[in-house]
Amino acid sequence: MKDRLDKIVHRYEEINRLLSRPDITQNIQKLKELSKEQSSLEKTVLTYETYKKTETTIEELKEMMKEPDPEIREMAEMELEENKTLLKDLEEKLHKLLVPKDPNDEKNVIVEIRGAAGGDEANIFAGDLYRMYMRYAESKNWKLELVSSVENEAGGFSQIEFSVSGDHVYSILKYESGAHRVQRVPQTESQGRIHTSTATVLVLPEAEDVEVEMNMNDLRIDTFRSSGSGGQSVNTTDSAVRITHLPTGLTVSCQDGKSQHENKATALKVMRARIHDKMLQEKMEREGEERRSKLGTGDRSEKIRTYNYPQNRITDHRIGFTIQQLDRVMEGKLDPIMDALIEEELKRKLSGE
């Protein structure tokens, strides 16, 4: 472990030197890359420094234990136990920090929610999930922007797509991809029977230009008039944009921006994320075992969670986690579930699963 940590410290110090060079400070892209790498290493370096200082302190206290004065020996013994406990905690923390990170963890995301099985009730539930994520984003000081939506007459959405940007968004929301199942009595149900419906969630990390080479000649861009809510421009101008990636057949529509230019820029961002995701999915298929070992495969058909309204219960099936706080979760208080998922994945990585 110490060899790996020493290499990280060496790289961290090297980056600090590079960041002071004029040729680097004038290269915006390189400066951005190095600053990002520096930030990712900093916590590990600072923890390792504290670890080494604690080791030194323990050796000094062991020497003090040899003093003839009993009071000094007693004081040294107490401090020695405290520092041994601290050293153990720091070692555990360093093991966690050395676990390989998902390269997409720091990225912003594109989220798509669709009503699936259950007709109108599924679409209403899709709207409930959207509001849940919107409130969760607010609690995290993340920025949520609507990309496109298809409203359902009975309420909710048959499909809604939005972007979320902020600090390490993908590292948390990546666990949400899959089928979400709701069990409740619909408002239209006169007999009081519980219905089961599903909505699917897809979370894509935003892709940078360098990750996806998107040839504009491979894109067909169509414009059309917006429909539904969207301000004064609705049904008056061809502000909505639909982009088709001809090689893959992937399609993205965007109509909730204020102008055609804004919708096109957003649609291109979403298309880049979809192409990037397709590349990742194909890579994961080739590395089947690695994909199956993860908490979520990102497969829309994988049932990941059940929301039981009569019992105020929510269960995440991947880790067998259940809490009787469905009302709080739907208000955006998702942290207990997210923390449990993050902790479980970390355990699996540390055990080598």
Beta partners for 179?
200, 303
Digit-coded pLDDT (tens) for 101-147: 877 888 899 999 989 888 888 999 999 999 999 999 999 999 998 88
Judged by average pLDDT, the poorest of 240-244, 290-294, 327-331 is 290-294
At position 295, the amino acid (one-letter code) is: L
Sequence-distant (≥ 6) Cβ neighbours of residue 50 within 8 angstroms: 90
- Integer Cα distance of 142 and 139 in angstroms: 8
Predicted TM-score (pTM) of this structure? 0.71
CA angle 289, 292, 293 (to 5 degrees): 85
User: Alpha-carbon Rg of the chain, whole angstroms?
Assistant: 26
Digit-coded pLDDT (tens) for 18-75: 999 999 888 888 998 899 889 889 999 999 999 999 999 999 999 999 888 889 999 9
Confidence check: pLDDT of 290 > 50: no
Domains and CATH numbers, the chain: 2-97 (no CATH), 109-353 (3.30.70.1660)
CB atoms within 10 A of CB 2: 10
Band of pLDDT at residue 258, cut at 50, 70 and 90: confident
The mean pLDDT of the chain is 85
Confidence check: pLDDT of 286 > 80: no
For the residues 304-318, what does the mean pLDDT come to?
Answer: 94
